[in-house]
Amino acid sequence: MIIKPVATNVITGFLGVGKTSLIKQLFLGKPADEKWAVLINEFGEVGIDAALLGGGEHCVEIREVAGGCMCCAAGVPMQVAINQLIAKAKPDRLLIEPTGLGHPREVLRVLSEPHYQNVISLKSTVCLVDARKIEDPRYREHEIFNQQLEVADIVLATKSDLCSEQHLEQLHAFLEEKKVGSESGDKAVIPVCMTQASAGEISGLLSLMGRKAAPPLSETREAPSMLRPQVSDLFSLEPAVAGAEFNERGLIKKLNEGEGFYSCGWIFDPGYEFSFDEVITLVRSLDVVRLKAALITDEGIAGLNLVDGELSVVELDDVMDSRIEIITLESVDSEVLERRLLAISKRLGF
């Protein structure tokens, strides 16, 4: 039974801006006596962020909703996931990370519906942005990029170690230019480098995130009743069961497209072991917007994150299987890429 509404933050931002890195840093500032839960929506279909986050060591419950915007279909996938997560974890704080290609205004609309008033206490919405991107018209003119900034209470200028003062000034000017109606209140713009953030910076950010969110959005509209579950049903709905199963080679392949982007991802059964060196060579050769992977290799379990040509690799403690996913601006030949992945792996015991 929920005694008080769960403090909830939406953490948004475009692809590869560092949302998962931020959440990992926030874990370090979690009070020992608090329970946290995280709901992640990925544009891709295979779900990798939970493995990269590693919430278990911080006693954080993590759930993923893969495949595009979780607020679609009147928010049913998101409502089901939220309520099951709250029922299971009974958290003091809930962090919701929509896909970088999702519509945050719709997510906030769902969270502001009447049946959540006694369940969720909506706190500050955080938008992460790489200030260097403000110069790029592909970002400046992108509807979702602009919407993410417009709905934010806090704007984090991530990768501040790579930004100049001019970049930050351009970000401030852009925010002034894009102020819209009731969403235009003064935003706290905070430069931050997540890989170097101090305990004090994390504590200060958590304090800001605890503030009440801006007033409900003006652009609210009722979801069609045939698509919205009844309040009494929200906790009883079961999550969708993945329709795909491993094929005879121990693979699952999933594709997605939307908002001008394409995703292609694979899940390899735990019998597969990849050559670490060959994986790095392959990843560096790909022309992609984003790549994420959690792979069992001959040198241990590796978490890979590639964005803007910058590859980071971390060692992971444990995974159930190997996963890799790419996001591109053009459709790729998935069969060719699959053959390349198989060529740098072996299936032990088969």
Domain borders along the chain are: 6-233, 251-347
What are residue 298's phi and psi, to 5 degrees? Answer: -75, -5
How far CA 100 is from CA of 46, 96, 320, in Å, comes to 16, 12, 25
Q: Are 276 and 63 in contact (CB under 8 A)?
A: no
CATH fold of 251-347, please? Hypothetical Protein Yjia; Chain: A;domain 2 (3.30.1220)
Distance CA 155, CA 13 (A): 9
Q: Which of 98, 50, 37, 45 has its CA nearest to residue 70?
A: 98
Q: Which CATH superfamily includes the segment(s) 6-233?
A: P-loop containing nucleotide triphosphate hydrolases (3.40.50.300)
In this predicted structure, what is the pLDDT of residue 62?
Answer: 85
In this predicted structure, what is the pLDDT of residue 11?
Answer: 94
Q: What is the pLDDT along the chain (350 residues), one digit of tens a residue?
A: 556 899 999 999 988 888 888 888 899 899 989 999 999 887 766 777 667 776 555 578 888 777 666 666 446 777 888 888 898 889 999 999 988 877 888 889 888 888 888 899 999 999 999 888 888 888 888 888 888 988 899 999 888 888 888 888 888 888 887 764 334 456 678 887 766 778 888 888 899 899 888 765 544 444 333 333 333 333 333 333 344 588 999 999 999 887 788 989 999 999 999 999 999 999 999 999 889 999 999 999 999 999 888 898 988 888 889 999 999 989 999 999 999 999 999 998 76
Name the token pair of 6.
């769960």
Q: Give per-residue pLDDT as tens, 87-146.
A: 888 999 999 998 887 788 888 988 888 888 889 999 999 999 988 888 888 888 888 888
